[in-house]
Amino acid sequence: MDTICSKQLKPNPINFAFLTGYMINATEPQRTQTEIASLKASVKNSRYLVIGIIFVILLAYIINFGFLVHAPLSKDPSHWGQLGDYVGGILNPFIAFFAFFWLSQSVLIQKEELADTKKALQESAQTQLQQEKHAARTAQINALNTLLTSHDNDISNLRNNIEFISSQLASGRTVWLMDGNPTSQATAIDHVQTLNRALTSSLNKRETLRDQISNLLQT
């Protein structure tokens, strides 16, 4: 009695390293230490520049009226008010300029940080999407492996059953089925043919499952 034989394929171990080893290091957007140090240095230099301008203005006033004109120190409050107007009139444009400059710098820095934050959020969302896809693929592969194991067990049982009955048919003795009941030669032959058809179906399903698992691992 011919029976259907199939080449036993060793189950290929599934490598989930690409699923579990996939890591994304999402860091918070921030300026580098060099940029921060440069920014602090610029602010400090601007402060020193404003102080220097104030000093030069006062020094020029003192040199002009104290050493060149030889004007005495006034006790009239209105004269000191004029000095304040003089210093303020010269210094205010510089102060306004630096205030506007650092305000614009602050706006630019905030725009850069917002852009970095947006980029980081997009990368995080993309990473999460990839992880969800990997998780879904892992679950699908595990389910297919469970079915594959079930078919392997069915195939093994069918082959054992066919071999058991076929050996009795070849000897010409009374045929006993796997459940312990005796049967006739004709009934046993029909039963073996039924088992062969079931074996063929299980083998085809197993190959289909292996192809599906292989395709999932290659994607």
Q: CB burial class (10 A; 0-12, 13-18, 19+) of residue 158?
A: buried
pLDDT score for 31: 52
State the Cα–Cα distance between residues 194 and 206, nearest whole angstrom. Answer: 18
Cα–Cα distances in angstroms (integers) from residue 175 to residues 37, 187, 188, in the given order: 93, 9, 7
The better pLDDT of the pair 77, 123 is held by 123
Q: What is the mean pLDDT of residues 146-174?
A: 89
Q: Is the pLDDT of residue 13 over 50?
A: no
Q: Which among 42, 21, 22, 23 is positioned nearest to 31, based on CA atoms?
A: 42
Q: What is the mean pLDDT of residues 60-88?
A: 76
Is 0.85 topped by the overall pTM?
Answer: no
pLDDT score for 173: 73
Q: What is the pLDDT of residues 98-134, one digit of tens each?
A: 788 878 877 877 888 888 888 889 999 999 999 998 9
Most confident of 17-21, 52-56, 161-165: 161-165
Q: Which residues contact 8 (CB under 8 A, 6 or more apart)?
A: none
Half-sphere exposure of 164 (CA within 13 A, CB side): 14
Here the tokens at position 132 are 């969800």
Q: What is the mean pLDDT of residues 158-183?
A: 85
pLDDT score for 36: 66
The conformation of residue 176, written as its DSSP 8-state character, comes to E
pLDDT score for 21: 39
Q: What is the pLDDT of residues 183-196, one digit of tens each?
A: 888 888 899 999 99
The conformation of residue 63, written as its DSSP 8-state character, comes to I
Cβ atoms of 73 and 39 closer than 8 Å: no
State the Cα–Cα distance between residues 114 and 29, nearest whole angstrom. Answer: 8
Q: Is the pLDDT of residue 28 over 60?
A: no
pLDDT score for 33: 67
Average per-residue pLDDT for the chain = 78
